[in-house]
Amino acid sequence: CTCFSRFSHISHQTSTRNQSAKMQASIVTPAQMVSARVQTVKGNKATACVTRTISSAKAQCFKGTACVPVARKAGVAASRAASRRQVLVSANADLLACHGGDAFLSAEQKAELEKICDMIAQPGKGITACDEGPATIGSRFEAVGIENTEEARRSYRQMLFETPGAADYLSAAILDPETLYQKSSTDGRLFPEVLMSLGIAPGVKPHLKIYALPGQSGSTVMQGLDSLAVRCKEYKEAGCVFAKWRSPIVIDMAAGQPSDLTIETNMQDLARYALICQAEGLVPIVEPDVSLTGSHTLEEALAINVKIQSALFKYMNDHGVFMEGTILKSNIVNPGKGCPKSYTVEEIAAANIATHRRCFPTAMKSANYLSGGQSLSDAAARLSAINKAKTKQDPWNLSFSWSAALQMPLFQLAKGKGGEIPLEEMGKLYIEELKIASAAALGKHDWAEGEGDHVAK
């Protein structure tokens, strides 16, 4: 009995040691989890960045204790401490992996993005925005008696690009996808090639349809992120060097808009768009577009624009966007059209400078304001006043990215012409407009009394 008892005891100890050895052999440390997840997505650096971050968060939650069996011996305790240090080092490295595009951009790719940003941010030059879809520009044509055909759209936009002297005032042009594949009648080249030869960077509008967010009083978000990478690749092959995504926002104080949900949804979409663009070799222009619609005051507009842009730049950094390789296109901070309080152009300029100082990263080279329903005279007066208000504290290039402010006066020249497009006459007026815009971008445009002011409604 004694021998059998001893044999049973020895067998039990042996079995316990074998089970313990098997448990230790099957243990997967947090560091191994991170490594495995990274290997799984090795072919996609941008996805790996996200996966490593998620895995690192899980690894930190373990704190090295859940995966290491309790042991009283000093050697096992030392091993556990070493494992914990390894996990922390790995987690810290992964937390930094998404910063500044490091996870998916090489030094050469970053340099190319910065080169295009430098091209766009040339002092005294701005962007001609001619990215209206066929239906939008068609309605403008039809209002002045021009038939909306593809050839009419092509010839009109050729005038915007090739009018002699236009390249002296333009650094970039935003195109509708249709225009990418149209050719100049001058030499048969595609428009992106023509633009680059003139020193004008060609870009494209990649977003699709607008969608009303349920329960948000009509506030909207743009669609098109799911297929964006594929389309960006196509646009890059077609000759584009940048893209522009617009997120329209309306201030409605009575309805509590824009809500936190509205802001977060739109700004996170802009950040994801920027990340995808850079991964495909395009400079992203981010456009948080706060409408002039409403009766909000300038003070309310300032507070809301600061909130919107603060969220935008936070999410861009959170997503690992290379900030030096991006451009901002934003609205001029204005009171609503129906605001019952008057403001001078200088007060409006001060609000815009304040917005930039509170939000705008100095890593970004340029902000190109949209016109957003302002007349050329008001938009130019406000842009010039903003630039005059700049100090050494404000290093950015502040310029224009205008569509309606430049083009609506051109369409008026077509009235009474029997459906003909007076391209030569339009070209002459266009150059005069660009001279005004260029001077405003340098703070050298002198506006007439009352221009740029907001008059109480």
Residues contacting residue 385 through CB under 8 Å, at least 6 positions apart: 345, 346, 348, 349, 447, 452
DSSP one-letter code for 454 = B
Catalytic residue among 329, 365, 433, 451: 329
Give the ranges where 27-101 is alpha helix by DSSP (H): 30-40, 45-62, 74-96
Contact status, residue 376 vs residue 441, Cβ threshold 8 Å: no
Both ends of the chain: CA-CA distance in Å? 106
| Catalytic residue status for 58 | no
Task: Examine the residue annotation and report whether 329 is marked as an active-site residue of this protein.
Answer: yes
Beta bridge partners of 170: 126
C-beta separation of 184 from 194 below 8 A = yes
DSSP, res 183 = B
Is 22 exposed, middle or buried, given 0-12, 13-18 or 19+ CB atoms closer than 10 A? exposed
Query: For 377-412, b where at least 16 C-beta lie within 10 A, e where not — what string?
Result: bbbbbbbbbbbbbeeeeeebbbbbbbbbbbbebbbe
How far lies 102's CA from each of 40, 61, 313, 323, in Å?
19, 25, 17, 11
* Residue 356 near residue 363, CB atoms below 8 Å: no
Contacts of 399 (CB under 8 A, 6+ apart): 121, 123, 124, 125, 126, 127, 171, 366, 367, 368, 369, 383, 441
- Total length of the chain: 457
CA distance 457 to 448: 21
CB contact set of 211 (below 8 Å; sequence gap of 6+): 220, 221, 222, 223
d(CA 98, CA 316): 11
The burial of 446, by beta-carbon neighbours within 10 Å (0-12 exposed, 13-18 middle, 19 or more buried), is given as exposed
Q: Indicate which residue of 132, 162, 287, 451 is catalytic.
A: 287
| Residue 205, both tokens | 């509008």
> Would you please indicate which residues are annotated as catalytic (active-site) residues?
287, 329
